[in-house]
Amino acid sequence: MKSWIQYEATTHFPIQNIPFGIYTTPSKSKRVGCAIGNYILDLATLVADKYLEFPRPEVLLQDTLNDFIALGKDTTSKFRLDIQHLLHIDNHKLQSNSNKVSYLDSMSEATMYMPVSVKDYTDFYSSIDHATNVGKMFRDPENALLPNWRHLPVGYHGRASSIVVSGTEVHRPKGQSMPKGATTPIFGPSQRLDFELEVAFIVGKPTNLGESVSVKNAYDHIFGLVLFNDLSARDIQAWEYVPLGPFLAKNFASVISPWVVTLEALAPFSVPQEPQSPEVLDYLKYEGNYNFDINLEVIISNAKLKQSIVQSNFKFMYWSMAQQLAHHTVNGCNLNVGDMMASGTISGPEPHQFGSMLELAWQGTKPLKMNDGTERTFLLDHDVCTLIGYAQADGFRIGFGECTTKILPAT
């Protein structure tokens, strides 16, 4: 499939992708757009001028994608296919319009916003290599995984209000911690600020209280995916999380990529999971390929430095998104459009595939050597942390773009 719009083979946004997001330009108010090459397609104006048909045009001029997504996949999937058709090299309807640039906004002049209003946020813990690494560090190297881990996708309910879009700068959080060997806690800026490389899915179809979603039907309830950086203050976390789990160590900010990549765009990249052992309970059993082969990378940069420190892959997940959603709803917990559920840190078996500084520098004991001569055990002030993700096909990529944040000193 080729488009009449010019772009490089390495673009994250070829005609095969068509992800949705919310943007403005200096002359246009907030609206729904889709990414194509280095442009954003102004969908509301294309519908107003009859280049595209859409049953609820006012939805395309809203501040978030929630109402767009809530129309359901019958509507949004058809719209996405119509957009692909309009951009196809054999289609001259828009291509032959001498004023077609008025529908194509340059990405470099646009501002991106939170794509959805997040209703509820859940973070899972579904990478076996990550859970094993953390278990070895904090528990028992011989029994790194807790007894429940291979029987259910462990998760916790997080905070939706502090999920922010890529480009948002984040101040180093302050809080309580208990220094090694101390007997009373101290208060101050976190000394162990970390990223977590994750992918999150956005719920597109609600359920009623009491209803459950099966593994088989789970992907009907998922609209699309974003990259997710679950920023974590390890020193605050180590002191506060017993016995109830993550709290202020994680709720100060999480950062997502602005383009929501649809499940339809990612379907060609589905791959089998590693076989689960022991066998899981019936409601978690699956047939087919529910994981996705998506390359994931983390880059640390500042004025003097730009260095890739993680090369992982979404396919390393032990529990699939379908199993996560089936487990989340098996007790009757209801879903809302705009719910966000993150994977948990995605680590692979090799050290360069570890998805957090905690693991890369092994709790501060193996500092990372950086290209500018400095070392890192955790994030420093003024570091820019960028997550990148894309699935590679023969001749094109389905990408997420960037999920980036700069760490500012504590206030």
Residues that bind Mn ion (CB under 5 A): 123, 196, 230
DSSP, collapsed to helix, strand or coil, labels residue 241 as coil
Residue in the shown chain whose Cβ atom is closest to Mn ion? 230
Nearer to Mn ion, 105 or 230 (CB): 230
Rounded Cα distance between 5 and 157, Å, is 42
Least Å distance between CB 90 and Mn ion? 45
Q: Which among 12, 85, 88, 130 is annotated as catalytic?
A: 130
Does the CA dihedral 226-386-21-64 come out positive or negative?
positive
Least Å distance between CB 262 and Mn ion? 24
**130 has catalytic annotation:** yes
Nearer to Mn ion, 11 or 404 (CB): 404
Cβ-based neighbours of 107, under 8 Å, separated by 6 or more = 35, 38, 39, 40
Nearer to Mn ion, 52 or 134 (CB): 134
> Between β-strands 340-342 and 121-124, what pairing exists: parallel, antiparallel or unpaired?
parallel
Cβ-based neighbours of 182, under 8 Å, separated by 6 or more = none
Rounded Cα distance between 87 and 43, Å, is 12
Nearer to Mn ion, 134 or 388 (CB): 134
Phi-psi region of 288 (alpha: psi -120 to 50; beta: other; left: phi over 0): left
Least Å distance between CB 91 and Mn ion? 43
Least Å distance between CB 357 and Mn ion? 13
The answer to whether 408 and 171 are in contact (CB under 8 A) is yes
Least Å distance between CB 307 and Mn ion? 23
Nearer to Mn ion, 129 or 196 (CB): 196
Active site residues: 130
